Amino acid sequence: MRYQEVVGVVLWAAASMLSCASLAAEKLEEGVSTGLTRRGNLNRVSSAFSDDAVYYWMRVKEREGAKSKTRCVVTDPNGVPLIDEVEEFDEEGDEGYLFCGVDGDEKELAAGTHTFAIYLNGEKLGERAVPIEKRSFFGKLGIYRQFKWALGGLAMLIIGYYWIRKKLYGDKTIDAAFPEKPAKGAPKVQIGSRVAGATPAPAAPAAPSVDDQLNGFKAKLAADPGFRIARAEDVLPIARAARAAGDSKTAVAAVRGFDKAFPAHALIPDVFVFSAKVLAEDFKNHDMARKILEHVVARYPGHYLAQEARKYLKEMPQTA
């Protein structure tokens, strides 16, 4: 090969390497997660159960103004692709997250080692092999439910023991514990009968309906625009009732500042998704709704509403 040809090949290879480097985002951090910690951060795991939401995630440094395409590929232990999805997004020059995974509520994985791979603009940025195992029956139950099952089993064993003993030996212990007939001369008491001279207990006050709560909130909001609902559990019912009545402004006022008033509350993703839908559908503010949904996907990737947020983002009209 002539000298000019060798130089040409070297220059072409260098240009190709520079081009590929310019297409690749800078990878800052990566890991495998099955959900969020109590502080709202992604947990880090090396293995998972088949009914977990398993996500391979990557924190990257984005390029300003770049239009990129990410691809997620998940393969089972036999090398068969379970997921092969491509999404396009605009890079904003800040730090962002890429996710590739399976939601345990929608697809239960088989036992064995699964492979999760993330591609950006056709280049593989990373890959993780995650061992998956089946969760035992008692493993699917919380500690409280395990205790209840164990206590119930113990009670059945005790009752069974006394029943068998009575049948075999005529033991009267079970009869003493559970008498079949009242003692002679004992007065018969009817359930629901009123004791003479007794004062009936006052009836418990009825809990206010959602409509009553909504009317009370609107009245207090009119007197004080900065008024906020005291209980986190009352916010969404009041907001939904207001929207159902055609009062979207009151619905937005009900959920405004929820994450600051109730930090780290479990209902924050629900409030965010509801707010995004009201902004997009009732006020046509697709830009703000998109930012809220993207925040849900990035901050709560293991939450069941993250999948709904992704779907809603795809269906939302693109703004200029």
- Residue 237 belongs to a domain with what CATH number? 1.25.40.10
Supply the mean pLDDT for the chain: 81
Does the pTM of the predicted model rise above 0.85? no
Confidence (pLDDT) at 132: 93
Domain count, the chain: 3
Task: Supply the DSSP string of 131-200, one letter for each residue.
Answer: EEEPPPTGGGS-HHHHHHHHHHHHHHHHHHHHHHHHHHH---HHHHHS-SSPPTTPPP--TTPPPTTPPP
**Is 85 contained in some domain?**
yes
190: in domain: no
Please tell me whether residue 115 adopts helix, strand or coil conformation: strand
- pLDDT, position 200: 66
Q: What is the CATH number of the domain that holds 102?
A: 2.60.40.10
Domain membership of residue 163 (yes or no) is yes
Is residue 276 situated within a structural domain? yes
Q: Which of 78, 111, 133 is the last residue of a domain?
A: 133
Q: Is residue 51 part of a domain?
A: yes
For position 248, what pLDDT does the model report?
94
8 lies in a domain?
A: no
Residue 189 lies in a domain: no
Stretches where the chain sits below pLDDT 70 are 1-25, 40, 104-107, 137-146, 148-149, 167, 169-201, 203-204, 319-320
> Tens digits of per-residue pLDDT, 68-111?
899 999 999 999 999 999 988 887 778 888 899 988 666 678 89
Do residues 287 and 223 share a domain?
Answer: yes
Question: Looking at 80, 108, 133, which one is the last position of a domain?
Answer: 133
Provide the domain limits for residue 173.
138-177
Q: How many CB atoms lie within 10 A of CB 249?
A: 13
- Residue at a domain's end among 114, 133, 152: 133
- Do 73 and 156 reside in the same domain of the chain? no
Residue identified by tokens 């064995």 is 112
